[in-house]
Amino acid sequence: MDSGIRVRVPAKINLALMVGRQRSDQYHELATLFQAVSLYDDITASSSSDGITCEVLGAEAHKIGVGDDNLAVRAAKLLQEIYGITEGVHLVIDKRIPVAGGMAGGSADAAGALLACARFWELRIPVNELMELGAQLGADVPFPLMGGCAVGLGRGESLTPALCRGVFHWVLAFSTSHLSTPEVFRRFDEITAPHSIPAIPQVSQELMMALISGDLDRVGELLLNDLSQASCSLLPELHTTLRAGREAGCLGAIISGSGPTIAFLTKSESAAADLGVTLSSLGIARDIRLVTGPVGGAHFLED
């Protein structure tokens, strides 16, 4: 029986997300600091006699299409087109990264599909080339293939690995609501004075040095997301969740990406567990997860 090629791919959080001016292609210049964390989707590629097919497993499976609107399907079709593949493939996405949560779940699935399909079709494609292909699908697709920590420029797709010392213990608060990334950026443009938006944003050197030295307290102080005000204005409940985590003693809190997932940095595994219990007892989030970072990028799961 064909058990398929299985790939595990991580979610990301943004330790910093700095927004610059809008470009001629209507996207904004970004400078972001990614960290891959231990929350994963699993992608399996196996034989199909019906072209490219897809199914999604997990609690939020009903929220995800399985046609061309699915980035993993589009990733498989991109490989087919570029490398002249005629054989079909069946993709199974075991979904644990929240849908539309600001953690690049769809992009992670596309990254996992690229890696799984490349092996399934016996294509010998280096990871750096898969990352270049991933950038054609979306700005967040290359990073899950790399993992670790990285600075992303442009739309976030131009990556430079970042040094990081120590283990980061995060508490993730998943919202009951979703946020549309384009809507958040539109709101950012509405409420931000144009003269205050830099042409080319940069991640602060202070944050980079804190990351290199493993200074968790300083990292917590320097977490910054330029989209936070826009996200909170669209979803005011985020204010309540951020305040609750800070009052409970986290080192720092940040909305990941355009939201609505909130990441709280803690001092240790036990501190993360305590904060998770506190937030759960308040009932202000759909779900609470404890994760660590940085973790490696997309990788094969061998039976």
Catalytic residues: 12, 140
CA distance 170 to 172: 6
Angle of helix 127-137 relative to helix 71-83, nearest 10 degrees, comes to 120
Residue 46: enclosing H or E segment and its boundaries?
strand 28-46
> What CA–CA distances, in Å, run from 198 to 31, 193, 263?
11, 11, 26
User: In degrees rounded to 5, what are phi and psi of residue 287?
Assistant: -160, 150
**Nearest by Cα to 21 from 188, 224, 156, 208:** 188
Residue 208: enclosing H or E segment and its boundaries?
helix 205-213
51 three-state secondary structure: coil
What six digits make up the tokens of 158? 């131009």
CA distance 293 to 39: 10
